[in-house]
Chains A and B, each alone.
Chain A
Amino acid sequence: MRAFDYIEIRVPAKPQYVGVIRLTVSGLASRVGFSYDQIEDLKIAVSEAVTNVVQHAYDSYDDGEIVIGNALYDHKIEVMVSDYGNSFNFEEIKSQIGPYQEDENVELLREGGLGLYLMETLMDEVRVNNNEGGVTVFMTKYVTREQVKDDDETITTLSNIQR
């Protein structure tokens, strides 16, 4: 038996569906047991990733699709956002994604605005993989059992994890 439940969502790469994805992932996260603030963080991070695809899709092709793969564990959620037209093998793609590196593609994302910065700040782990013309963003967030009262402290903790 797998250690997680896997839920895949597929929507056209259009702006009106970003909010739908946000609400869906929010619902999934509440099943994992995240706090209100953590769910709000997750909603922003996922929206940023999906928005990147929507904006990219609008530049190049009209009938693109976004696939959002969600793996729900006991105490964490893994969210993969991909602009592949086809469903992907979650574990296979996950195994292909190496440590985050400051390569050209990421630079392109960064130039797009604050999107990737927010993903990195609001999630515990973010990886970006680029192959065969498709971009996959892979993000992880852990349930923190103890509520951190000071927001600044939360951010420090996250950046420590990234290092």
Chain B
Amino acid sequence: MDVNIQFRKEGNLLIGFIEGEIDTFTAPTLREELEKIHLSTEISVELDLSKVSYIDSTGLGVFVAFYKRATKENANLKLVNLSSRLTRLFEITGLSELMDIEEGGISHASI
């Protein structure tokens, strides 16, 4: 039960691959890692959630906080490769209306 994030930079696009379970135990680690990201108008961030096996409201809160910071810094943020479970959770909480999310199936590894 842990969470990991690996980054890859491609020009102005920063892709973060998140893996593991995001709950009240692991959320602080993820929050710290996301806080380290330097955001600006020129930066686009994509967080790949294909390997997130579990998330609850604490985890959603981490993404909400990061989304708020991205909006403040005028950076572009997108959550990609969500499983149908994750997509459903974003939908029932209303977050899918707020944030830019994309359900899985599309491989971003080849971009």
Contact = CB atoms under 8 A, between A and B. Distances in A.
Interface of A: 15-16, 18-20, 22, 37, 40, 43-44, 47-48, 51, 54-55, 113-115, 117-118, 121, 151, 155
B7 interface: no
A54 B85 contact: no
A117 B95 CA distance: 13
B93 interface: yes
Interface residues of B, number: 18
Interface in B50-106: 54, 56-58, 60-61, 84-85, 88-89, 91-93
Contact of A47 (B56, B84, B85): B56
Contact of B24 (A20, A37, A55, A114): A55
A114 B57 contact: yes
Contact of B25 (A16, A114, A155): A16
Interface in B23-42: 23-25
Determine which residue in B23, B88, B89 has the highest number of CB atoms from chain A within 10 A of its CB, and name it: B23
Contacts, number: 53
A44 B88 contact: no
A40 B89 CA distance: 11
Contacts of A47: 23-24, 56
Nearest to B21: A19
A40 B21 CA distance: 13
A142 B88 CA distance: 20
A15 B25 contact: yes
A51 B24 CA distance: 7
A113 B61 contact: yes
Given A15-B23, A114-B60, 15 more contacts: A16-B25, A18-B24, A19-B23, A19-B25, A22-B23, A47-B24, A47-B56, A51-B56, A51-B57, A55-B24, A115-B56, A115-B57, A117-B93, A151-B84, A151-B91
Contact of A22 (B54, B85, B92, B93): B54
Given A22-B54, A51-B58, A114-B60, A121 B25 contact: no
